[in-house]
Structure 1
Amino acid sequence: MKAATFFDGTEWRDGVVELADGRVRLRDERPTPDLPRIDGVVTGAFTDHHVHLQLVEHGRLSSSRLGRVVDLGGNPQVLRRLAVRAVAIDYAGAFLTAPGGYPSDRDWAPEGSVREIADPDSAAAAVTEMAAAGATRIKVTSNSSAGPVFSDDLFRAIVRVADAHGLAVVAHAEGVDEAQRVVRLGASHLAHAPFTERLDDDEIAHQAASASWISTLAIHDDPERAIAIDNVRRFHDAGGTVLYGTDLGNGPMPVDLNAREVAALREAALDEAALLRALAPVDPLDAASALLLLPGSSPAAVDPLDARPLTPADLKV
């Protein structure tokens, strides 16, 4: 048993780590002064808020530093059957798109992963289907650079029926004015930080008060990468919520914490505290949570990229 400083999702606190049933567990208990202290700080495993599990070797997640992933586009019946040891899987189910819209024409889109929505009735049917399949959010595509997008009225209709099911709408917005439009129409999350164009400061302020952005900065090359990083920097400065996400499955990348995405978030001026909030560690006090050890003398000195699993060997005195 050792004392430990841990991150509870909001702040750093002191607790006790111990070995229980062969696994390291964290207790929310003030350590006694004589208890030896673990060398480093403890968090739950991290969250990737944008993945596509059908496009990667998802079994490799069990040995990664990710404790939760959010799938934003796949076959809902396949996704509901996936299970990865010590990793929580949330999913949106199928992409909802306009007839002929992105990604209905993409070879990479798994069979059964797209629903083309033509009217409010088909919108209601698709959202109800996703909810019944266990979706925790709805994914809508609005990519005017690649094909047709929903009208304002139909987008609003999707938001209304999603809201009736208690599901937030996450939008892939691409093309001139699409990021601005989908947030005005009720999307609460952008699947990608805006990369088509630089948003003006008034729009940044509006978005910071209205929506969260999932980063996915490292999938871009310049000039889109530079545009996205500049938007994220100003969005974060305006108080907006930035969530770490990689679009895992979009080209080669580690099935783990992505160093290129972390570097891009730092380039967007997220300090270590903001970066850790973006990584949204799972609750370390949950008995099912995997725990990570971040070497460092204090929370201010740690680097998430140095994180490794906390093991029984770390409790030896």
Structure 2
Amino acid sequence: MFAVTFFDGEGWREGVVEADDDGQMLLREVALPADLPRLDGVIVGGFTDHHVHLELVDVDLLADSVLGRVVDLGGNVTVLGDLSARFVSLRSLNDRSLSEERSDETKRPRVARTSTVIEFAGAFLTPPGGYPSDRDWAPSGSFREIASTDDAAAAVAEMADAGATRIKVASNSDAGPVFDDDLLRTIIELAAARDLPVVVHAQGPGEAQRAARLGAAALAHAPFSERLSDEEIAVQAASVRWISTLAIHDDPERATAIDNVRRFHAAGGTVLYGTDMGNGPTPVDLHPGEVAALREAGIDGLALVRALAPADPRDPASVLLFLRGDADPLRARRLTPADLKV
């Protein structure tokens, strides 16, 4: 048993960490016994990537990553529902198999192989001919073309019934038609009736502000197609969360996005780490380029940890990550019983 500093989702706290007889890593917030040895580092739960496309990557690579949760923002809802259920089954199977393993010195260190939690939005909702309906990369069933309120109601119900935890709307005027205000507002209201926040891909002049004005909960990408004014930034910071996805851009879009994020963060806005995993050769793990871009935008230290939204490490199902020294997330790795050797 070791004393340890850990992150509970809001700030740093004190507790103890130990490995039980089955090699399961356990963390508890308790009064620290006197003279307890201290772990040379800190612990956080698995990080969250708030914008991924799992049908475009080798999803099995998540098993060895430091990601405890991923949020798919556009894909075939049936495929994603099955994939999420498979990972839930893997978590249950791993918990059972862990308790059945023999204490054998020839085995690799026994640590809970908790699978990544998969959440998803299901299909992009887009107008007829809207983004991404004309894109070769869009998997079959990954978008729904919405022409009416009835179409919208059916699509929101379909995603909700399949287990979606949010709704994704495409509002990309650079690539094709977008919903008018009335239909976009209706989609947001229909989603709210199912307790589902709406995440909008807002691209093109005025689209980020329109999404905020009509009640979107989050932008799938920090605005990159235009520099927002300080007044517009203040409106965004008061009501909408931004998912970063800074590293997917080249200049000038990258510079524009970083400038927007720097001012949004300074205004008190909530920035969430997200990579658009699957958009190009992105790692199926923590993305060093995205972390570097967030730091360039002034998000570092505790603010960076919060953007990564790690799970509560006191949750027995959470991946436990070990960070040494300056608690740099890029040095995070999964905690093992070997780390608790004196």
Tell me which residue corresponds to 2:16. 16
Q: Secondary structure at the match of 2:18?
A: strand
Tell me which residue corresponds to 1:49. 50
Q: 1:28 and 2:29 equivalent?
A: yes
Q: 1:310 and 2:311 equivalent?
A: no
1: CA distance between counterparts of 2:67 and 2:74? 19
Tell me which residue corresponds to 1:70. 71
Please list the CA deviations of residues 189-218 of structure 1 after superposition, one character each: whole Å capped at 9, or x if unmatched. Answer: 000000000000000000000100000000
Q: Secondary structure at the match of 1:166?
A: coil
1: CA distance between counterparts of 2:125 and 2:13? 42
The unaligned stretches of length 5 or more in structure 2 are 88-113
Tell me which residue corresponds to 2:196. 167
1: CA distance between counterparts of 2:217 and 2:28? 34
Q: Secondary structure at the match of 1:260?
A: helix
Tell me which residue corresponds to 1:134. 163
Please list the CA deviations of residues 252-299 of structure 1 after superposition, one character each: whole Å capped at 9, or x if unmatched. Answer: 011100000000000001121100000000110110111001001xxx
Amino acid at match of 1:32: P
Amino acid at match of 1:66: L
Q: Secondary structure at the match of 1:281?
A: coil
TM-score normalized with structure 1 length: 0.98
| The one of 253, 275, 279 aligned to 2:282 | 253
2: CA distance between counterparts of 1:184 and 1:255? 34
Amino acid at match of 1:2: F
The unaligned stretches of length 5 or more in structure 1 are none
Please give the root-mean-square deviation of Cα atoms over the aligned residues, in Å.
Answer: 0.8
**After alignment, is 269-278 or 241-250 more displaced?**
269-278
Amino acid at match of 1:27: R
2: CA distance between counterparts of 1:135 and 1:232? 28
2: CA distance between counterparts of 1:167 and 1:105? 27
Q: 1:110 and 2:135 equivalent?
A: no
Amino acid at match of 2:269: G
Amino acid at match of 1:282: A
Query: Paired residues, what number?
Result: 313
| The one of 258, 271, 277 aligned to 2:306 | 277
2: CA distance between counterparts of 1:196 and 1:13? 40
2: CA distance between counterparts of 1:211 and 1:156? 15
TM-score normalized with structure 2 length: 0.90
2: CA distance between counterparts of 1:59 and 1:311? 20
Ranges of 4+ aligned residues in structure 1 off by more than 3 Å: none
Q: Secondary structure at the match of 1:269?
A: coil
The percentage of aligned residue pairs carrying the same residue is 69
| The one of 180, 185, 207 aligned to 1:178 | 207
2: CA distance between counterparts of 1:182 and 1:238? 19
Superposition pairs for residues 141-220 of structure 1, below 5 Å? 141-220=170-249
